[in-house]
Structure 1
Amino acid sequence: MTRTVFTGGSVFDGTGADPAPADVVVEHGRIVDVGTDLDGDEGVDCTGTVLLPGLFDCHVHVTISDIGLLSRVQKPFSYQFYEAARNLWATLGLGITTVRDAAGADLGIKQAVDDGLIPGPRLQISIGLISPTGGHGDAWNPSGLCVPLMVPHPGRPETTVDGPDEMRRVARTLLRAGADVLKVCTTGGVLSPRDDPRHSQFTPEELDVLVTEAAMQGRPVMAHAQGAAGIKNAVRAGARSIEHGIYLDDEAIELMLGHGTWLVPTLIAPVNVVRAADAGVDLPPAVVAKAREVVEAHRDSVRRAYAAGVRIAMGTDSGVGPHGTNLEELALMAACGMPPGDVLEATTSSAARLMGLDGELGRLEPGLRADVVVVAGNPYDFPALAANIREVWKDGIRVV
């Protein structure tokens, strides 16, 4: 097997330390050495570049490409799978080699990537969005018509539940369908016109059943949670991560610290809703009003959470906004007071820890899988980062 050495560049190893000159040697899809003056059978000239570990996005929706009501009802059912292939390719081109799909992708999409049928980041999937009747994932409209973002099908079962028994049944159904993580709405949201992000959804009893079912199969729970009360319910129940966290209060932050709960901020998500509305996308007025209202509260919550020491991993909610623009999130994280090294750590080794992959990915060190991103210029220049991606390697193979 060829021994490939990346020479002449600097290395950001994923730990948050600033880049330092080093070579990286890859063999059999693994990193076998990191240091200076290393050799190999083939060389990749990285002069003037910085090597990063493969990046992560811990909150995407690869089967969703737009949020407008009219465009959704006009697309054939199977079109979403071809869109997913396009969206995965756009994400991989940014150096993002691992994603967590927060509802939409089924086991077939994940397996197609794993088997090499389509190029893309490796996936962890949640398959569906568990919601109560009238909750964030309920597709009911005042007309009486239901227009879901994700239409149920054999690989993506219906996930609207009420009560502990239905919660148990749906949790087991999703796990049977191949879910790596279970996604639940413990509050309302921005895109659902008939609820409020500050209002709670699901009782502690229902959430306890969900977390118990997931834990019995060695699976975590990720909680769409925007209001403080619903965030606290999710944390107390044992959710591994809080997605969005728009209205964090001091008690919620303290609970997250005490339970070791992760925050996946998705700061770009409400910004993208506002952009879509300004561009003329057909969205309910209530949705647009909520998006405009939450932006600053969201940023303030992330600032306070980071300052308090809450563990943060990068996520974007891409699908709500365009796939292929994921790295816009990094500048927003930096604007919340995170130093550049911490932002990249949240996008590499911290994200790997959240997803339980830190023994395989997230750092450039011997023994780990050889996901390597070659960046021209300064990797801390986040607005220019996407344009500066020169090469992307996944498991020791150049894919971009």
Structure 2
Amino acid sequence: MRSTLFAGGYVFDGTGSTPSRADVLVEDGVIRAIGRSLVGDTVVDTTGRTVLPGLIDAHVHLALSGVNLVERLANPFSFHFFQAVVNCQRTVATGITTVRDAAGADLGLKQALARGLISGPRALIAVNMISQTGGHNDGHLSCGLAVELFPHHPGVPSGVADGPDEIRRTVRTMLRAGADVIKVATTGGVLSPSDDPKHAHLRPDELAALVAEADAAHVAVMAHAQGAEGIKNAVRAGVRSIEHGIFLDDEAIELMLARGTWLVPTLLAPLSVIEAAERGEVHGPAVLDKALEVAAVHRDAVTRAVEAGVPIAMGTDTGIGPHGDNLRELQLLVDCGLSPYQAWAAATSGAAGLLRLDDRIGRVEPGLIADLVILDGDLTDLSGLAGRVVETWQAGCRTYRRPVHEVAR
């Protein structure tokens, strides 16, 4: 059994503690020891750098590559599968070794990643998002056409459902398609053409049926929830995480604290829509107006949640914006009150806890899987992070090395 020693640098263990000088010994894909004067068969010099746990993005869309409506209509149906391969490569190149795909990725993509056919992160998948007719996952346009955010095919069945019985059947359909998590939209959203992010979607009896069916399969529920009433409906129904939480009010925050509900803020998402518009990318006329409206209040809501102590996991909604830009979310979390080390913890041990993978990943600790990232610079400096990832290791194997000609940006 050959071993790899990461020697000479600092180690951030993922808990939020200050990095300390240490070496990390890896054998057979597992972290075996952390300390000084360790010995390994192969030595990776990390002098002047930091070794940290493989990063986790708890809200991505690997099969989505932007929100340009014209481009989506112009591309052949199969084109997005090939884009997904590149998206996975860009993700692991930014130090992210595990993701929770929040709709669009199917079981085939997950298995291709797991079997090493393509390079990319370990993936938990939602398959598709469940929403009501006219809700966040209903692509019906006023002209009579429908442009689905997550195109339907045999691996990604429709998520539009109404009434407890249909909701129950749709949950079972997603589980049959390979879902590791059930995603539901309990409010409207920014990208959907005919709804309002503040409006609550699905009634309590529908949400009760959805959560009960997910619970029966021992699968968690993540809720796209932006308006306060929809957030509270989701929390009362028993979802594990609120995604976005743009219009969180004090009652919603108190409910989340009482029930241990996680918040995945995705602060980058509305900014990505605004930036896409500035680049001239075309989407529905209402989308930019909604993005501008929510961006102004999103930071305040997340700041109040952070101050109250709501558990935070990093998620970015990447796919709305460019893959590889995920780590911009860390500075946005700091802007909302987390310290830099707390933000890194939200992207490591915190996200692992949300995904119930904290017994396997998320920390640099003996016995855990050796998902590791080597990073240039100080962790308190959150600028240019994508260009500062030197190497990414997954289960003890190097899956990304920064090209020699590139320098940290």
The TM-score normalised by the length of structure 2 is 0.97
- Give the Å deviation of 1:278: 1.3
1:358 aligns with 2:358: yes
> Paired residue for 2:392?
392
> Paired residue for 2:157?
157
1:206 aligns with 2:194: no
- Give the Å deviation of 1:296: 2.1
- Give the Å deviation of 1:245: 0.2
Per-residue deviation, residues 344-386 of structure 1 (Å, max 9, x unmatched): 0000000000011000000000000001100111122112222
Residue aligned with 1:110, SS:
helix
Decide whether the 8 Å contact of 1:262 with 1:310 is kept in 2.
yes
> Paired residue for 1:233?
233
Q: How far apart, CA to CA, are the structure 1 residues paired with 2:348 and 2:380?
A: 14
> Paired residue for 1:323?
323
Q: How far apart, CA to CA, are the structure 1 residues paired with 2:384 and 2:173?
A: 43
Question: Which letter maps to 2:125?
Answer: I
Decide whether the 8 Å contact of 2:140 with 2:193 is kept in 1.
no
Decide whether the 8 Å contact of 1:379 with 1:385 is kept in 2.
no
Per-residue deviation, residues 48-77 of structure 1 (Å, max 9, x unmatched): 011010001000011110212111111111
> Paired residue for 1:71?
71
Question: Which letter maps to 1:317?
Answer: D
> Paired residue for 2:45?
45
> Paired residue for 1:103?
103
Per-residue deviation, residues 209-232 of structure 1 (Å, max 9, x unmatched): 111101111100000000000000
Superposed counterparts of 1:115-126, under 5 Å: 115-126=115-126
Decide whether the 8 Å contact of 1:10 with 1:21 is kept in 2.
yes
Decide whether the 8 Å contact of 2:186 with 2:224 is kept in 1.
yes
Q: How far apart, CA to CA, are the structure 2 residues paired with 1:81 and 1:379?
A: 35
Q: How far apart, CA to CA, are the structure 2 residues paired with 1:193 and 1:148?
A: 10
Q: How far apart, CA to CA, are the structure 1 residues paired with 2:366 and 2:329?
A: 29
1:219 aligns with 2:202: no
Superposed counterparts of 1:166-181, under 5 Å: 166-181=166-181
Decide whether the 8 Å contact of 1:313 with 1:350 is kept in 2.
yes
> Paired residue for 1:274?
274
Q: How far apart, CA to CA, are the structure 1 residues paired with 2:193 and 2:292?
A: 14
Q: How far apart, CA to CA, are the structure 1 residues paired with 2:88 and 2:281?
A: 23
Residue aligned with 1:399, SS:
strand
- Give the Å deviation of 1:160: 0.5
Residue aligned with 1:312, SS:
coil
Decide whether the 8 Å contact of 1:313 with 1:354 is kept in 2.
yes
1:195 aligns with 2:168: no
Superposed counterparts of 1:257-336, under 5 Å: 257-336=257-336
1:247 aligns with 2:250: no
The TM-score normalised by the length of structure 1 is 0.99
Residue aligned with 1:291, SS:
helix
> Paired residue for 2:145?
145
- Give the Å deviation of 1:285: 2.1
Q: Which runs of no fewer than 5 residues in structure 1 stay unpaired? A: none
Residue aligned with 2:373, SS:
strand
- Give the Å deviation of 1:235: 0.3
- Give the Å deviation of 1:284: 2.0
Question: Which letter maps to 2:396?
Answer: G
Question: Which letter maps to 1:209?
Answer: A
> Paired residue for 1:184?
184
> Paired residue for 1:370?
370
Decide whether the 8 Å contact of 2:211 with 2:237 is kept in 1.
yes
Per-residue deviation, residues 128-177 of structure 1 (Å, max 9, x unmatched): 01010010110000001001121211111111001000000000010011
The number of residue pairs the alignment matches comes to 400
Question: Which letter maps to 1:272?
Answer: S
Decide whether the 8 Å contact of 1:72 with 1:149 is kept in 2.
no
Q: How far apart, CA to CA, are the structure 1 residues paired with 2:399 and 2:107?
A: 22
Question: Which letter maps to 2:349?
Answer: S
Question: Which letter maps to 1:23?
Answer: D
Q: How far apart, CA to CA, are the structure 2 residues paired with 1:157 and 1:136?
A: 15
Decide whether the 8 Å contact of 2:88 with 2:119 is kept in 1.
yes
Q: How far apart, CA to CA, are the structure 2 residues paired with 1:160 and 1:388?
A: 41
> Paired residue for 2:15?
15
Question: Which letter maps to 1:83?
Answer: Q
Question: Which letter maps to 1:225?
Answer: A
Decide whether the 8 Å contact of 1:188 with 1:195 is kept in 2.
yes
Q: How far apart, CA to CA, are the structure 2 residues paired with 1:343 and 1:206?
A: 35
- Give the Å deviation of 1:99: 0.3
Residue aligned with 2:384, SS:
helix
Decide whether the 8 Å contact of 1:53 with 1:372 is kept in 2.
yes
Q: How far apart, CA to CA, are the structure 1 residues paired with 2:69 and 2:42?
A: 51
> Paired residue for 1:337?
337
Q: How far apart, CA to CA, are the structure 2 residues paired with 1:216 and 1:179?
A: 14
> Paired residue for 2:24?
24
Q: How far apart, CA to CA, are the structure 2 residues paired with 1:374 and 1:380?
A: 15
